[in-house]
Chains A and B, each alone.
Chain A
Amino acid sequence: MSNCISGVAKALRATRLPVQTSARRTLAYSNGCKTPSIAESNGINVLRIQGNGVQQGQIRSFSNSSPRNKLKTMQQIKTRNKSGPFNLTAAVLLVATGCGLWFYFRSEKERMARKRIAEQTKGVGKPKVGGPFDLVDHNGNRFTNEDLLGKYTLVYFGFTHCPDICPDELDKMALMYDKVREQCGQDVLLPIMITCDPARDSPKVLKEYLKEFHPDIVGLTGTYENIKQTCKEYRVYFSTPPNVKDGQDYLVDHSIYFYLMDPEGDFVEAIGRNFTAAQAAKVISDHIGDWDKPLKKEQRWT
């Protein structure tokens, strides 16, 4: 996109040069030809009689712009008419402008579509996905929905005793996160995994588990009630038995989506399993690129 625009600019720059030189050449030609007559006569009379060629030469001292489409001799008119108004310069300009416009409109169209998704899901009043929660992070510190503000967050629900899907998705999350950071900066996205299995997933278990995927992923756990409330707010279905015995072996069914939340804590888009890490990273990066308000929490209230 930007390549193409700079290409247009380059093409413009390149074409301006020959235009100028050709104008200068016309002037030089007319000067060379008509100078004696200017020198001999003086004033307005000459202007009227000699016409354009002289006019050009005399006006030049007042203004740089000169009509360059005026042709003097029959020969010039003939050569001009032979090729018509189209030449290489015009063709290059046409193609470059067309190309530039096409890319511009295409990117605008994509941006508007994303904006629509972001606005659509923003909800009127209360957000449709997400909401207040009160949990504990993998270091044992309190973590609430307030801590989501000021950055984009990527929220995933899972559990450490998940056989195959969650580990795959978390590996993908780590890839996505690195790609987005590469494109948008180190401090714009926060990856979070909220466990659906608080009975087994203590902060310590989560920390051990998540560091194998990416050291930056924040694991959240809490009481069964708090987890249940959070899952409800994020429209996540899960099936953990409420009262489990120590060491009991069970699996948890849960919905598999990445939830992208904006720096104001509002839901933007859900990313399903059918996205590859690269596709998901592009979706996230594009949304981050669209964000025109300040990212930092402190700045948001000034």
Chain B
Amino acid sequence: MGWFSSNDDSGVKKTSGGAFETPSRTNRAKCYEARDAFFECLDKHQILDSINSSSGRQATAKACGDADKVFEKNCAHSWVEYFKKQRVVNYKKEMTIKKIEAEGGEIIAPQLPIGNPK
């Protein structure tokens, strides 16, 4: 798919392998925008995982296919995969924190043994 998207003039310029030609601030902003639109669509259709399971991928293609295409067009392919996986990880992390807090635990940010933020 890298070849097709790099021939397409809309979206950001990419290499033959599907990476950004230049990961500049404007290109990053375009990618983040497309990502947020795609995630909004997933939220609306209550899809969490759009990459790891085949059922998730099918549901995504059906409900948010267009947003996904825009996402791919504006981001490096590796970024798309990264963000899709990150969405799942972030959700699980949030749930774990909520669970711990509901049980009365406290979350302390991991720190190096030396130096504390004051």
Which residues of A are interface residues toward B (Cβ below 8 A)? 117, 120-121, 160-164, 167, 200, 205, 208-209, 212, 245-251, 269-272, 274-276, 279-280, 282-283
Contact = CB atoms under 8 A, between A and B. Distances in A.
Chain A interface, DSSP helix/strand/loop, else mixed: loop
Interface string B55-86: 00000000000000000000011110011000
A270 B116 CA distance: 10
Interface stretch (B13-21, B36-44, B97-105): B13-21
Given A117-B115, A208-B24, A249 B77 contact: yes
Closest 7 CB pairs of A and B: A247-B15, A249-B19, A247-B17, A247-B16, A249-B18, A249-B17, A248-B17
Given A161-B19, A167-B28, A276-B117, A249 B111 contact: no
Chain B interface, DSSP helix/strand/loop, else mixed: loop
9 contacts: A117-B115, A160-B23, A163-B31, A247-B15, A247-B16, A249-B78, A276-B117, A283-B115, A283-B117
B1 to A, nearest CB: 11
Contact of B118 (A120, A247, A248, A279): A279
A270 B25 contact: no
B109 A274 contact: yes
Interface of B: 2, 15-20, 22-25, 28, 31-32, 76-79, 82-83, 109-112, 114-115, 117-118
Given A247-B17, A251-B78, A212 B118 contact: no
Contacts of B23: 160-162, 209
Contacts of B82: 163, 251
A26 B49 CA distance: 90
Contacts of A205: 22
Contact of A212 (B25, B83, B112, B114): B25
Contact of B22 (A208, A269, A280): A208
